[in-house]
Amino acid sequence: MRVLLLGAPGSGKGTQGPRLARLLGVPHVAVGDLLRTEAASGSALGARLGEVMARGELVSDELTTPLVTGALRASLSGFVLDGYPRTRVQADALDAFLGRRAAPLDAVLRFRIPSEVVTERLLARGRVDDTSETVRARLATWAAHEDALIEHYRGLVVELDALGAPDEVFDRAADALREHATVAA
C-alpha cells in the first residue's frame, strides 16, 4: 500500500508514521527526518539547510524532491510518506514521479486536529525548530497550502480524527486505512 500522511506539523504524523509503516510492512519515508540528518551532517549544504529549517521555512524543491524520489525509488510497491508534498508544486512532482512508474498513491490519510492543540504540542516538544516564532511560521506555511493539497488529492483523502492518545489514534488510523482499502478494492 502506498500511503501519504497529510497534516499540520504536530498533528501526530511523526508518531503514527513508523507504526503504520510497520503495520503495512513498508518503509516510513519522513522528509523532515531526512533533512535533519543532512542538516546535522556537518556539510556546507547541511548548514544552509539547518538555517532554513530553524526559520520554519520550506527547504527548496531542488533539494527536497530528489531526496524524496531517491528514497521512494527503493520501495515503489509500498511506503508511508510523511512531510512531502507540502505544496501543490511538490504534489505535481510526486505525481509525475509515481506516474512514470505506474505506482499511484492508494490513500492520503489526513490528520485533523485543532490548531491550538498542535501549537501546544509543538511548543512542548522543544525541538530546535520548535520555538514560538518558528512554530507560528511552520503552521502558517501549512495553512497556506493545506486546501490546495486536499483539493489535489480529492477522492483519495481518508479523514482521521487525530485528537487523542497515540494508541487510540493509531487504532483509528489502521481502521480507516483497512476500510479504505476494502472500499477501494
Give the integer Cα–Cα distance in Å for 98 and 8.
24
List the one residue from 2, 28, 86, 145 that touches ligand AMP (CB under 6 A): 86
List the one residue from 71, 83, 135, 158 that touches ligand AMP (CB under 6 A): 83
Q: Quick one: cell of 53?
A: 529549517
DSSP 9-61: TTSSHHHHHHHHHHHHTS-EEEHHHHHHHHHTT--HHHHHHHHHHHTTPPPPH
Residue number with CB closer to ligand AMP (81 or 180) = 81
Quote the least distance from Cβ 178 to ligand AMP, whole Å.
26
Nearest one of 144, 145, 149, 142 to 118, comparing CA atoms: 142
Comparing every residue's Cβ against ligand AMP, the nearest one is 32
User: Contact between 17 and ligand AMP (CB under 6 A)?
Assistant: no
Quote the least distance from Cβ 69 to ligand AMP, whole Å.
12
List the one residue from 138, 145, 152, 180 that touches ligand AMP (CB under 6 A): 138
Q: Show the binding pattern over residues 24-43: x = contacts ligand AMP (CB under 6 A), - = does not.
A: -------xx--x--------
Length of the chain: 185
Query: Which residues 6+ apart lie within 8 Å of 157 measured at CB?
Result: 6, 108, 110, 150
Nearest one of 109, 133, 140 to 9, comparing CA atoms: 140
CA 43 to chain centre: 25
User: Contact between 84 and ligand AMP (CB under 6 A)?
Assistant: yes
Quote the least distance from Cβ 185 to ligand AMP, whole Å.
30
Q: Which residues bind ligand AMP (CB under 6 A)?
A: 9, 31-32, 35, 52-53, 56-59, 64, 83-84, 86, 90, 129, 138
